[in-house]
Copies of this chain bind each other. A is one copy, B any other.
Amino acid sequence: MTAIQDHYPDDVAHCYGCGRLNADGLQLKTRWDGEETVAHVTPRPYHTAMPGFVYGGLIASLVDCHAMGTAAAAAERAAGRDIGDGPAPRFVTAQLNVTYLKPTPLGPPLEVRGRVRLATERKATIDVTVAADGVITARGEVVAVRIPETMVKKD
């Protein structure tokens, strides 16, 4: 199934966390899984907090990008469209809250899940979990807003 990030317009597809046009980035991909969204990312060996554990800033990044993707996918669904039916709307982060429940082991792929708590056309609140080996290690709550026109630089 196609990911929402594959349908961001080219001029807003350079995000370090999830932009398909950012060759140096993490390229997170958000897809529907029933009423939830899911993404899988394997941290790089240097994404360490302490040796053996994933860097908290990376976890915050995954929460952030997956929430933006979920907000975009939800806006499409609310409009009666599936991912890929057209260019995806682009959201940016207004508020990012992450609670670290326990250390996240470095090595296994991480499963990032999103659920829409509230959504309008212009704003959404998304709940996110991050899990390793089936154990949730962090929870996020993210407020997403539609991208302001001033953030889009046309060529």
Contacts and interface: CB of A to CB of B under 8 A. Distances in A.
Given A22-B48, A46-B22, A95-B100, A17 B55 contact: yes
Contacts of A51: 11, 14, 153
Contacts of A3: none
A116 to B, nearest CB: 19
A150 to B, nearest CB: 7
Interface of A: 11-12, 14-17, 19, 22-25, 44, 46-53, 55-58, 60-62, 64-65, 92-100, 103, 147-148, 150-153
11 contacts: A16-B47, A16-B48, A16-B57, A19-B48, A55-B61, A56-B96, A92-B100, A92-B103, A95-B99, A96-B96, A96-B98
